[in-house]
Amino acid sequence: MDSKLEKVVALAKRRGFIYPGSEIYGGLAGFWDYGPLGVELKNNIKRQWWQKMVYEREDVVGLDAAIIMNPEVWKASGHLEAFTDPLVECKVCHKRFRADHEEVLKAHEKEHKNTSWTQPKTFNLMTEVYLGVTEPKEKAYLRGEITQGVFVNFSNVVDSTRVKIPFGIAQIGKAFRNEITPGNFTYRSREFEQMELEYFIKPDEKESKKTFDYWKEERLKWYVGLGMDKKKLRFREHAADERAHYARFAEDIEYQAPFGWSEFEGIHHRGDWDLGRHKLVYKSDDGEKYTPWVIETSGGVDRAALFFLLDAYHEDEGRLVLKLHPRLAPYKVAVFPLLANKPELVEKAKLVFDKLKLSFHATWDDRGNIGKRYFSQDEIGTPWCITVDFDSLKDNTVTVRDRDTAKQERIDIDKLSSHLQTKLG
């Protein structure tokens, strides 16, 4: 593993962002648990996504569909047949790999002298589950993508709301894939979360191209707006033989990760594949009936969280700073009494803390000295630290210290909330 990735993995464990799943039983490949800070980071990513994709638009509504659906859904969508990866096996050690991951295969070939590979086999990624109490139990699947829940509810949403084409349905939720080779920390997991928009339009080549380009740019802007380094982002178009079975056209947003350029969001032109397969149509106000086309933006919450963490990780003159965008930071503010053994300082600091915690996710720290407290907050990305000192008792002001510049300013306690709110944007 690259050293930056190793450092982020270690920090994530040490400070409670991400732990290996089922760790006390030796873990389980491809499963991860988010700790007290990780759940905040992930929730903040999802909240920002929902804000942008649903609340700030008049043409998008939300949905939360079930994870397990009637298996007929997956038959119709083509996933039982075509949601596959090519698998090869090393004839020497019988380890299995993705046949399309050439770099990984080359690395493995160096491990044995006489490696050779079996012919590629297609391997279905859907995870099977069994329902009911009577034998034989009913076979079903954990969803391999959250998308189908939107398509099967297309008519429900049209009939129960006032949406008119063009419009979108947004959803965030868990997906499961029986990945052949989980790895690169959370990057390739077997359980992960997706945040997706299905945007329905009239079937029209020009319109679909315009919509596709629009969403591509919107999604890139969203990541950059939340602080991701633009130089580490690029689009990559899928070659025809690489596209998923449903895609007419696809481009990925990739991040320059320590393990190479890596997809973390796909923009897909799904055409009428899904609604067509589910035999669903749209009837416009003037009675025109057609199968809409779909432009999809499909992002991974876990991959986004990982890349936000990698991007934010900085070592500045011996100080480790996680420069997360304040809206993504697990804690927005930390409150300290200058000295923990001076009751008047502690009391005043508690008043500040109790007030701020109603509007911001705030944390309290009175251990050690101020330097150590700053150090501890910097490495988890807390953008502002507030210290109540002896001057605070006289003039009702506190010190607000900025994580990135380490600069401090005095702010009146009564103006703290609005001061922080303005900074948060």
Residue numbers of the site for ligand ATP (CB under 6 A)?
A: 145, 177, 179, 188-189, 192, 194, 263-266, 298-300, 302-303
Question: Could you tell me the smallest distance in angstroms from the CB atom of residue 273 to ligand ATP?
Answer: 14
CA atoms of 241 and 250, how far apart (whole Å): 11
Q: What are phi and psi of 357, to 5 degrees?
A: -65, -15
Question: Could you tell me the smallest distance in angstroms from the CB atom of residue 91 to ligand ATP?
Answer: 25
Q: Is 109 exposed, middle or buried (0-12, 13-18, 19+ CB in 10 A)?
A: middle
Question: Could you tell me the smallest distance in angstroms from the CB atom of residue 193 to ligand ATP?
Answer: 8
CA dihedral 13, 16, 20, 23 (to 10 degrees): 100
Question: Could you tell me the smallest distance in angstroms from the CB atom of residue 307 to ligand ATP?
Answer: 9
* Closest residue by beta carbon to ligand ATP: 300
Question: Could you tell me the smallest distance in angstroms from the CB atom of residue 300 to ligand ATP?
Answer: 2
CA dihedral 171, 174, 179, 184 (to 10 degrees): 90
Nearest to 334 by CA among 310, 306, 367: 367
Are 248 and 300 contacting, i.e. CB atoms less than 8 angstroms apart? no
Q: Of 303 and 325, which CB lies nearer to ligand ATP in the complex structure?
A: 303
Are 143 and 102 contacting, i.e. CB atoms less than 8 angstroms apart? no
Q: Of 173 and 383, which CB lies nearer to ligand ATP in the complex structure?
A: 173
> 148 Cβ partners below 8 Å, 6+ apart?
69, 73, 74, 77, 79, 274
Taking the mean position of all CA atoms in its chain, how far away is CA 376? 25
Question: Could you tell me the smallest distance in angstroms from the CB atom of residue 180 to ligand ATP?
Answer: 10
3-state DSSP assignment of residue 367:
coil
Q: Of 74 and 331, which CB lies nearer to ligand ATP in the complex structure?
A: 74
Count the Cβ atoms, other than its own, within 10 Å of residue 242. Answer: 12
Q: Of 264 and 308, which CB lies nearer to ligand ATP in the complex structure?
A: 264
CA atoms of 206 and 213, how far apart (whole Å): 11
Query: Which tokens sit at 377?
Result: 């907050």
Burial letters for 386-421: b for 16+ Cβ neighbours within 10 Å, e otherwise?
bbbbeebeeeebbbbbebeeeeeeebebeebeeebe
Q: Of 264 and 293, which CB lies nearer to ligand ATP in the complex structure?
A: 264
Query: Which tokens sit at 243?
Result: 């596209």
CA atoms of 76 and 70, how far apart (whole Å): 11
Question: Could you tell me the smallest distance in angstroms from the CB atom of residue 46 to ligand ATP?
Answer: 13
Nearest to 264 by CA among 328, 310, 198: 310
Q: Of 266 and 330, which CB lies nearer to ligand ATP in the complex structure?
A: 266
Question: Could you tell me the smallest distance in angstroms from the CB atom of residue 33 to ligand ATP?
Answer: 15
CA atoms within 13 A on the CB side of 148: 25
Q: Of 145 and 378, which CB lies nearer to ligand ATP in the complex structure?
A: 145
Q: Of 298 and 382, which CB lies nearer to ligand ATP in the complex structure?
A: 298
Question: Could you tell me the smallest distance in angstroms from the CB atom of residue 228 to ligand ATP?
Answer: 14
Q: Is 95 left (phi over 0), alpha (psi -120 to 50) or beta?
A: beta
CA atoms of 392 and 413, how far apart (whole Å): 9
Q: Of 273 and 336, which CB lies nearer to ligand ATP in the complex structure?
A: 273
Question: Could you tell me the smallest distance in angstroms from the CB atom of residue 200 to ligand ATP?
Answer: 19
Question: Could you tell me the smallest distance in angstroms from the CB atom of residue 404 to ligand ATP?
Answer: 28
